[in-house]
Amino acid sequence: MSFEKTNWIWHNGLQRQWDEVGIHPSAFGLHYGTGVFEGIRAYETTDGPAIFRLDEHLQRLYASARVYGIENPYTRQQLTEAISENIRLNDFKNCYIRPIVYFDSGSLGIRSICPVSVTVIAWEWPQAMDAQKKARGLRVTISPWKKFHSSMLPTTAKTTGQYLNSILAVREAAARGYDEAIMLDVNGNLAEGAV
């Protein structure tokens, strides 16, 4: 995965050049993992890029934000237009799209109320597993890290901070030579793959 062909990022209502977008080190979401996001694919077709299930992804983005009390200041239509325009500006045919909604800089401390920022970034991202791995099959392992329970964090929301669980599992599996980690829940039942 590389951002070398990403020239434009949509940030807080405007398409901006890559170097024009930054997140302040005091951003609340950076310190406390309070952001929600989606991972969406666009695929090349004879009619141009087709975004896979964009409406459903945006529905989940807004639902995740509600769980954490993050009010997205942009409508679904505005985000749909922003995503489409961003793909066009970057001249992508086949790409990954990441809209993210997060608490930005304003104050720190867990009781702080901060402004909300919204960013859309798209980039070319080839298949995660190369043809050779697909042909031989993936090597998977059971992770020593457990999937957190819904009594610990709201598992229905796709949030930035919760991905620490998956990162730990994937990195531990890779260190032992595996392609993917399978996570169990706190009761020892199969929960999910880390990715």
For the stretch 175-192, pLDDT in tens is 999 999 999 999 999 999
Residue 129 pLDDT exceeds 80:
no
pLDDT band at 1 (very low <50, low <70, confident <90, very high): low
Q: Which entry of 133, 146, 147, 158 is annotated as an active-site residue?
A: 158
pLDDT band at 126 (very low <50, low <70, confident <90, very high): confident
Domains for the chain: give ranges and CATH numbers.
Answer: 8-123 (3.30.470.10), 131-193 (3.20.10.10)
Strands 116-123 and 95-103: antiparallel
Tell me, yes or no, if 93 is annotated catalytic. no
Q: What is the mean pLDDT of the chain?
A: 93
**pLDDT for position 38:** 97
For the stretch 113-122, pLDDT in tens is 999 999 999 9
